[in-house]
Structure 1
């Protein structure tokens, strides 16, 4: 982790826990649990380029597609880099892997800009997120 701002281990752990909650809610196809991780003014761009601005748009999309997703629910999310832009703002690079019966089905490279709510012990929320599908490596 590199940063111009010092981050204590508790803040890094809190961010890792949010990403773990993203993984858990995606695996469980739990739309409401997933939505609870977002800032009210969040924006989200899906891996296929659909731009969702505001919680209501994210919620409408998520409630429609997540429970009906055709993948088998095997997905992993790994924090690969965290950079604190301010003490209450972090850019978090994630490796996302959907696994099918035959092995890796697809991989994503999300970037989550997360913000921490005000106050001592404020929780971290997904605020500006861009998911990018990783293209197959041409051989």
Structure 2
């Protein structure tokens, strides 16, 4: 993919908007906003290793954990690398920082995203992985 093209820049911006929406949905505890980002046949592996296949399974899990009362929503997400495997498929590496009072932790999710016919990028195969401190 030509990294100098307008289409490339537009795709990077669209991917970054998806990740920003993940961040916003987590901060505001909005499962509907989060779930709207997924391909209907998506695969999601949680930070705890639970494998969720399809939007129904992802939704059931998300609706239990996202609005949790013990979660203060203090998390940030940053795109650190995008690799276009094809013009409509991207591997997106993300830096995730949880900032609860007194204890910060980091995650290193990998999102495989697919570009739909309408131009939207959706989360399609994702692995949420915690980073172990050295």
TM-score by length of 2: 0.93
2:100 is aligned with 1:107: no
Shift of 1:71: 2.5
RMSD after superposition: 1.1
Report the Cα offset of residue 69 of structure 1: 5.3
Query: Which position in structure 1 is the counterpart of 2:132?
Result: 135
Unmatched 5+ residue regions in structure 2?
none
Helix, strand or coil at the partner of 1:22: helix
> Match of 2:32?
32
CA contact (8 A) 1:117 1:125 kept: yes
Q: Does 1:98 align with 2:108?
A: no
Runs of 4 or more above 4 Å deviation? none
What is the aligned residue count? 130
Q: Distance in 2 between matches of 1:58 and 1:70?
A: 20
**In the TM superposition, what whole-angstrom CA distance separates every residue of 1:52-87 from its partner, at most 9, and x where no partner exists?**
001100000001111115221110000000000000
Offset of 1:6 from its aligned partner? 2.6
